[in-house]
């Protein structure tokens, strides 16, 4: 196989596009895909400061790298989730990346600032904190962006992530979630900033290849709390489908965005937002989901601390 651009021997194949690239041309193709998504879905303008949600993994660092190279004013934000060694290692990767490229990285520390960590949020039934962790991350990324005047938060969700989420929502017919799923979530309140996913047309292996070619040092291991998560099962199933029908994953997601979503969300009612009685952030409930979780987390953390004090 030869590079689509320069005809040199190809090193990275993008099967669903029936394309291949050499290591010199591949990053340009990757960034062009990011640019295309930003423009196609009107994610942000050149004069808007973007806050990139950084985990230390390949997707978020590849996104930050690509946006910076494309000339956007992209700062990073890392949340210290307190998942033991995994959090320490991923924080080190995020900080090293920011240092190397001279970029600004905001940080929030859950334990110090909020009095709990993600392992305190384990669900009683599933034993997993993944859903709660999602709420925590969305809350702080949004709050920091709103506090510091960033109009938009960009996350590293890729095609595989989005297809797996869509798959889970379809399998359980979560029509509410289906109506809201997409690469852009517009701001509907002065304190809810726009959320965008510039990598939604790029597969997991595309971002891995970008990280390798651009020598981005990222944390390889998956979050230890996510083991056995449903999203991983859905990804496996979609990979089986993709093997038999190359491009199926992308058609599934883009077909939804182009047509299915409109059909599903036809008669959704607009959501009414008010201020959380506890923290003042916008919510549909009296006390927002984050404050309820945080309260539970603090109680759990306090109980654990008390147990060790007594012992």
Which neighbouring-strand residues pair with 194?
152
Closest distance of CB 283 from a copy of itself, Å: 25
Closest CB to a copy of itself among 255 and 280?
255
Size of the site for a copy of itself (CB under 8 A): 27
Distance CA 144, CA 278 (A): 17
Q: Which of 1, 92, 233, 305 binds a copy of itself (CB under 8 A)?
A: 233
Q: Please give the residues from 154 up to 193 whose contact with a copy of itself meets the rule CB under 8 A.
A: 170-173, 175, 178
CB-based contacts of 257, cutoff 8 Å, min separation 6: 182, 183
CB-based contacts of 301, cutoff 8 Å, min separation 6: 115, 116, 117, 120
Closest CB to a copy of itself among 245 and 284?
245
User: Are the C-beta atoms of 103 and 76 separated by less than 8 Å?
Assistant: yes
Alpha-carbon Rg for the chain in angstroms: 20
User: Taking CB under 8 A as the rule, does residue 271 contact a copy of itself?
Assistant: no
Q: Please give the residues from 249 up to 268 whose contact with a copy of itself meets the rule CB under 8 A.
A: 251-252, 255-256, 258-260, 263-267
Q: Which of 147, 86, 78 is nearest to 107 (CA)?
A: 78
Closest CB to a copy of itself among 115 and 179?
179
User: Are the C-beta atoms of 183 and 43 separated by less than 8 Å?
Assistant: yes
Closest CB to a copy of itself among 125 and 215?
125
Report the interface residues with a copy of itself, using CB under 8 A: 170-173, 175, 178, 230, 233, 236-237, 240-241, 244-245, 248, 251-252, 255-256, 258-260, 263-267
């Amino acid at each position: 196989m030869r590079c689509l651009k320069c005809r040199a021997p190809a090193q990275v194949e993008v099967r669903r596009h029936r394309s291949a690239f050499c290591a010199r041309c591949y990053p340009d193709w990757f960034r062009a895909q990011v640019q295309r998504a930003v423009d196609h879905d009107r994610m942000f303008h050149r004069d808007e400061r973007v806050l990139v949600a950084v985990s230390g993994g390949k997707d978020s660092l590849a996104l930050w790298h690509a946006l910076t190279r494309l000339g956007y004013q992209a700062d990073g934000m890392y949340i210290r989730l307190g998942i033991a060694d995994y959090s320490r290692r991923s924080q080190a990767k995020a900080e090293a990346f920011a240092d190397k490229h001279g970029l600004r990285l905001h940080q929030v520390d859950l334990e110090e600032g909020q009095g709990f960590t993600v392992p305190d949020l384990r669900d009683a039934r599933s034993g997993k904190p993944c859903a709660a962790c999602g709420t925590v991350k969305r809350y702080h990324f949004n709050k920091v962006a709103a506090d510091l005047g960033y109009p938009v938060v960009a996350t590293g969700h890729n095609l595989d992530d989005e297809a797996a989420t869509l798959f889970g929502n379809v399998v359980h017919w979560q029509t509410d979630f289906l109506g809201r799923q997409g690469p852009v979530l517009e701001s509907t309140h002065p304190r809810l900033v726009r959320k965008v996913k510039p990598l939604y047309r790029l597969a997991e292996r595309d971002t891995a290849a970008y990280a390798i070619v651009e020598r981005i040092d990222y944390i390889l291991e998956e979050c230890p709390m996510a083991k056995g998560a449903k999203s991983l099962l859905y990804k496996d199933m979609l990979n089986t489908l993709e093997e038999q029908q190359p491009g199926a994953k992308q058609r599934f997601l883009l077909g939804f965005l182009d047509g299915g979503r409109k059909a599903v969300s036809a008669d959704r009612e607009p959501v009414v937002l008010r201020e959380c009685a506890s923290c003042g952030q916008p919510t549909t409930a009296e006390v927002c989901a984050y404050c309820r979780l945080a309260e539970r987390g603090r109680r759990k953390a306090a109980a654990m601390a008390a147990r060790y004090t007594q012992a």
